[in-house]
């Protein structure tokens, strides 16, 4: 357990696919082994099962209690992997000396291995800390967290009750020269809603087409829904993100980024258009996005159905409400707002974590120390993670994954040939050690 590289290779070899193809959940097996290793160092550790085989590891290093606990959390479940599509077997933990290959190396067993390593190191140092440190390794993040973080939140909150947390985020990106340009720190994430649009008409025989065919009506309604169709809406976090990212863009785009950062929606339309079209991430941070994903209609080729339905995946900014978006969807599609239905608001959507804090400044200082040319950038994730559960309880969550990767390597998350650089694993582990130490002095 003392070598983070071998620890990660061991973790990759334990198949924690969610769901498991053979029906055997192995989250408990992995976390029990890790918990036993931590216990040998005198660290309090227990595994809490939400279902057979679905264990969450919670370990605690005691401090003097002068400050509330710091939570260090990530997940150990992984998405599926078809070995036929991989260069190396996805659960072999193969190392070629430069990379460790395998499912979960980037999402998110590297973080788990590094946190376990940090806990071992801190336990051996026996330093006095101002706060308890809580290590939490959960399952089920890849399926929404009901059997993982949400389970702990609802049934065992006292085990992980904390004020500040480090959780899953995105990696620092390596530029063409192999240097780290910036490290994103996730301070918020967008809210996810499933919206359904239903168009109704008159059923009949397809040999005699009717003017109110719901399939045709639905096609016309959905056509205007594209990545740039909703109104731009800027948040303080998005504006700060654009301001800090401007230095990495060509001169003209950098000027537009700065304009939007300074003026928000009041920026010139050309600047708003240039920024949102330059990068899908910029676009996602500056508006609610609407993405049709499923179409449902008839079951026979010769029957006009009475109803056609489109499922729309909607991602709202933290301060937006679904009712306002449905009203806007009505304007865009020409459909009555009553034609739309949406999930009820989630009780687990929390506010953004402030970035003008001592904690964020500590992350920034340590990042600059390890990567001198690196900018530390507060970031809003377009997708959801377990952090939303913690933020709903008022925890200030900073999403991190401090293991530098190229964009191509990062894009292998959830894809074949996922891998992590061994040098990056060691750098990120040191980053987590220094951050944890700084936040618990």
User: What's the CATH code of the domain at 153?
Assistant: 3.40.630.10
Main-chain phi, psi angles of 183, to 5 degrees:
-120, 120
One domain, residues 158 and 15? yes
One domain, residues 278 and 316? yes
One domain, residues 132 and 60? yes
Considering its fold, how many domains does the chain have in total?
2
One domain, residues 20 and 149? yes
- pLDDT string in tens for the chain (441-residue length): 679 999 999 999 999 999 999 999 999 999 999 999 999 999 999 999 999 999 999 999 999 999 999 999 999 999 999 999 999 999 999 999 999 999 999 999 999 999 999 999 999 998 999 999 999 999 999 999 999 999 999 999 999 999 999 999 999 999 999 999 999 999 999 999 999 999 999 999 999 999 999 999 999 999 999 999 999 999 999 999 999 999 999 999 999 999 999 999 999 999 999 999 999 999 999 999 999 999 999 999 999 999 999 999 999 999 999 999 999 999 999 999 999 999 998 999 989 999 999 999 999 999 999 999 999 999 999 999 999 999 999 999 999 999 999 999 999 999 999 999 999 999 999 999 999 999 999
Residue 375 lies in a domain: no
Q: What is the spatial distance between Cα 182 and Cα 173, in angstroms, rounded to a whole number? A: 7
Tell me which residue has tokens 């620890």. Answer: 7
One domain, residues 162 and 197? no
Residue 178 lies in a domain: no
One domain, residues 165 and 16? yes
**Domain end (from 308, 342, 376):** 342
Q: What is the spatial distance between Cα 167 and Cα 154, in angstroms, rounded to a whole number? A: 18
| Domain assignment of residue 224, given as a range | 191-342
| Contacts (Cβ under 8 Å, ≥6 apart) of 311 | 194, 195, 196, 292, 293, 294, 295, 296
DSSP character string of 63-128 = --SSS--EEEEEE--B----GGG-SS-TTS--B-SSEEESTTTTTTHHHHHHHHHHHHHHHHHT--
One domain, residues 107 and 34? yes
One domain, residues 134 and 17? yes
Residue 239 lies in a domain: yes
One domain, residues 69 and 214? no
The pTM is what?
Answer: 0.94
CATH number for the domain harbouring residue 332: 3.30.70.360
**Domain end (from 342, 375, 400):** 342
One domain, residues 215 and 159? no
One domain, residues 90 and 236? no
């Amino acid at each position: 357990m003392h070598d983070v590289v071998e620890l990660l290779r061991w973790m990759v070899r334990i198949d924690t696919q969610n769901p498991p193809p053979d029906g055997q959940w192995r989250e408990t097996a992995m976390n029990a082994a890790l918990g036993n290793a931590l216990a040998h160092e005198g660290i309090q550790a227990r595994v809490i099962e939400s279902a057979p085989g679905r264990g969450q590891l919670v370990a605690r290093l005691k401090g003097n209690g002068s400050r509330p606990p710091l939570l260090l959390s990530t997940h150990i479940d992984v998405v599926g992997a078809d070995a036929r599509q991989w260069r190396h077997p996805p659960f072999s933990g193969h190392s070629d000396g430069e990379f460790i290959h395998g499912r979960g190396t980037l999402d998110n067993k590297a973080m788990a291995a590094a946190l376990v390593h940090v806990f071992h190191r801190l336990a051996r140092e026996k330093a006095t800390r101002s706060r308890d440190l809580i290590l939490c390794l959960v399952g089920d993040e890849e399926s929404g967290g009901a059997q993982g973080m949400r389970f702990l939140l609802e049934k065992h909150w006292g085990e992980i009750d904390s004020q500040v947390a480090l959780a899953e985020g995105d990696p620092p990106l390596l530029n063409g020269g192999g240097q780290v340009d910036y490290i994103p720190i996730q301070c918020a994430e967008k809210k996810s809603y499933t919206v359904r649009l239903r168009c109704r008409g008159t059923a009949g025989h397809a040999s005699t087409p009717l003017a109110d065919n719901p399939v045709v009506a639905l096609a016309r309604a959905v056509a205007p829904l594209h990545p740039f169709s909703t109104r731009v809406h800027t948040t303080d976090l998005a504006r700060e993100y654009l301001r800090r990212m401007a230095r990495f863009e060509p001169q003209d785009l950098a000027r537009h980024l700065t304009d939007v950062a300074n003026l928000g929606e009041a920026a010139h339309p050309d600047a708003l258009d240039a920024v949102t079209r330059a990068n899908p991430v910029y676009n996602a941070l500056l508006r609610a996005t609407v993405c049709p994903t499923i179409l449902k209609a008839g079951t026979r080729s010769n029957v006009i159905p009475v109803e056609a339905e489109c499922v729309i995946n909607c991602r709202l900014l933290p301060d937006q409400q679904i009712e306002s978006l449905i009203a806007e969807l009505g304007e865009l599609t020409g459909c009555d707002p009553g034609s739309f239905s949406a999930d009820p608001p989630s009780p687990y959507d929390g506010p953004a974590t402030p970035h003008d804090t001592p904690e964020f400044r500590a992350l920034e200082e340590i990042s600059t120390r390890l990567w001198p040319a690196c900018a530390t950038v507060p970031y809003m994730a377009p997708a959801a993670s377990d952090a939303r559960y913690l933020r709903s309880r008022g925890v200030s969550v900073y999403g991190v994954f401090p293991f530098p990767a190229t964009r191509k390597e990062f894009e292998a998350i959830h894809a074949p040939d996922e891998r992590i650089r061994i040098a990056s694993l060691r750098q990120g582990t040191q980053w987590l050690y220094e951050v944890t130490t700084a936040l618990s002095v």
